[in-house]
Amino acid sequence: MKKTGIWGVVLGAIAVSGCVSTSDIGMKNRQITEEESPLVFSGPGLEDGYRKFTYGKSPDHLVITLLADYGPKSGRYPSANIMLRKLTNSQWHFYKVNLEEELQKYTSFKENLPPLGEKQFHVNKLGRADYVPFQHAGEHCIFFVQTKGRGTGSLDGNTRVQGFYCDTKPISRDAAVAALGSLDIRNNGRPIKIEKKDTAAKPISLS
């Protein structure tokens, strides 16, 4: 499934502090399965659809990044593209965010921020998710940011999830709430180790 519009170059255009690409998210970045992914998301129209997860660590192993790409069973829309960044060693994302500033950290919007709609929020199982609707290149999207963990009583850092959920038609409040309501983080933001099943043939006893 080929991505266009905002995410035509999703892995090369995302910028958080500078420019993040698959070569930047870790020296040994790799694709993982949805079963291994710490990110849970199932926005409306994306059930049983396209999935792609790319995971990596920074060279100093202090930042874990996951890039997740979602699409429908067929066609291009709706689509979602989400980045999860897990900080470690007592590093912390700020809990309060400025959505305009965060959006301008993406290459596509650095010099050309589209008109934004009313800022809103939804409280899901992780806490407060802030979001804002906008239009760009024929797409109707919401941009959202959510941070899990405030930095009290832990030395492990915290986790931020941010990204886009887009469609060809305006995204209703109900659709936005359903999308954000499906967000969850497993295994404290780290990939889940899946034990390989032993498929070796067992010897047949003749006794």
Supply the DSSP string of 27-74, one letter for each residue: TT-EEE-TTT-SEE---TT-TT--EEEEEEE-TTS-EEEEEEEE--SS
Query: Rounded CA gap, 182 and 109, in Å?
Result: 26
| Predicted TM-score (pTM) of this structure | 0.80
- Predicted pLDDT of residue 12: 33
Check pLDDT > 60 for residue 107.
yes
pLDDT interval class at 190 (50, 70, 90): confident
Query: Rounded CA gap, 143 and 141, in Å?
Result: 7
49-77 pLDDT, tens digit per residue, is 999 999 998 877 788 899 999 999 999 99
